[in-house]
Amino acid sequence: MDFSTALPTFVITLREGVEAALVVGIVLALLKKAKQSRLNSWVYAGIAVGIVVSAFIGVLFSWLIQILGAANPQYTSVVEPALEGVFSVLAIAMLSWMLIWMTKQARFMKATVEGAVTEALTQNSNAGWGVFTLILIAVVREGFETVLFVAANFQQGFMPALGAIGGLVAATAIGVLLFKWGVKINIRQFFQVMGVFLVLIVAGLVVSGLKHFDEAVANLALSSRATESLCFYYERFTRVHSCILGPMVSNTSTILPDEQFPGIILKSLFGYRDNLYLVQAVGYVTFLLTIGGLYFRSLGGAYPEGKKNIPFGQKPISSAKD
């Protein structure tokens, strides 16, 4: 069993799961403060339904891929990598947007959740449903991102899903440590480290997604015998090239093969390839410079000044403003 393919989804689910755990913990704390702990069951119901809905979306995507592949068996080798490429694009867009957006909105998370809970509690007859909806949206939002990532790598089998389960368990454990046992964790540093990992993972997904599209076009060219019209050729630059990704710019197969340790770990986590082509290299660097740059710039305003190094769960020193 190749457990290396479980690592990326573990990291993604851990980070997204902790975000959801923070929302859950804040809601439970607010309900306790408002002496409305009777609504806790609605919180737990929202968590359970959110996980089920996320899993159902994953099964639906897998079913869709199989149906599309079976519809035209002769084009299965084209449809599967093409769908993986499409899901890669969706996962890249969703994960990148959520990474930057959540970093910018971190300072407002508690206030936003508190406002939503307060509004729900003012509606006595529908308070439970209001809390349930808040938790459901938080869980499904984070779960959907993981589902997209798993769908973009569905050929790797059950291992990505196993990594997602492991990340969910770890995120739950962190939530319990924070809110049940009162353990002090510097949540800001945690998200910063996870954010860097996520930037590198999604950058690797850019490389993998381009490879999926290249494979789909190459297989389509072979099946339709239209190689010359669908694939570009680069004999003027190098004899070794891909269908649409251009000439090979690096070959480290003899030094660090991507099918052996530790190359296989780097491949699973960060999209490392021992054979890297021009378009992949350009896409990787472009992603790091744009999305990576936006992420690091967003870190500067993620937390209010004067409260940057306060571990989660620890109250700041009171001041006149507080």
Does 314 reside within a domain?
no
CA distance readout (Å), 266 to 4, 5, 129, 253, 257: 9, 10, 44, 13, 10
Does 319 reside within a domain?
no
Q: Give residue 281's pLDDT.
A: 94
Domain count, the chain: 1
Does 308 reside within a domain?
no
Residue 144: domain span: 3-300
Q: Give residue 147's pLDDT.
A: 83
Does 131 reside within a domain?
yes
**Helix 187-224 vs helix 263-270: crossing angle, to nearest 10:** 100
Percent of the chain with pLDDT over 90: 12
What number is the average pLDDT over the span 299-320?
44
CB 244, CB 217: distance < 8 Å: yes
- Is the pLDDT score of 143 beyond 80? yes
Kind and range of the H or E run holding 110: helix 109-122
Tokens of 205: 């997904």
CA distance readout (Å), 228 to 86, 123, 153, 244, 314: 24, 66, 29, 11, 64
Q: What is the DSSP string of 196-246?
A: HHHHHHHHHHHHHHHHHHHHHHHHHHHHHT-HHHHS---TTT-S-B-SSS-
Kind and range of the H or E run holding 265: helix 263-270
CA distance readout (Å), 236 to 229, 246, 247: 18, 11, 10
- Is the pLDDT score of 322 beyond 70? no
CB 178, CB 313: distance < 8 Å: yes
Does 151 reside within a domain?
yes
Does 261 reside within a domain?
yes
Q: What is the DSSP string of 159-196?
A: HHHHHHHHHHHHHHHHHHHHHTS---B-HHHHHHHHHH
Q: Strand, helix or coil at 249?
A: strand
Does 310 reside within a domain?
no
Report pLDDT digits (tens) over 238-293: 555 678 888 888 889 889 888 887 888 888 778 888 889 989 999 999 999 999 99
Q: Which residues pair with 250 in a beta bridge?
A: 276
CB 191, CB 103: distance < 8 Å: yes
Report pLDDT digits (tens) over 12-69: 888 888 888 888 888 888 888 888 888 889 999 999 999 899 889 888 887 887 787 6
Does 322 reside within a domain?
no
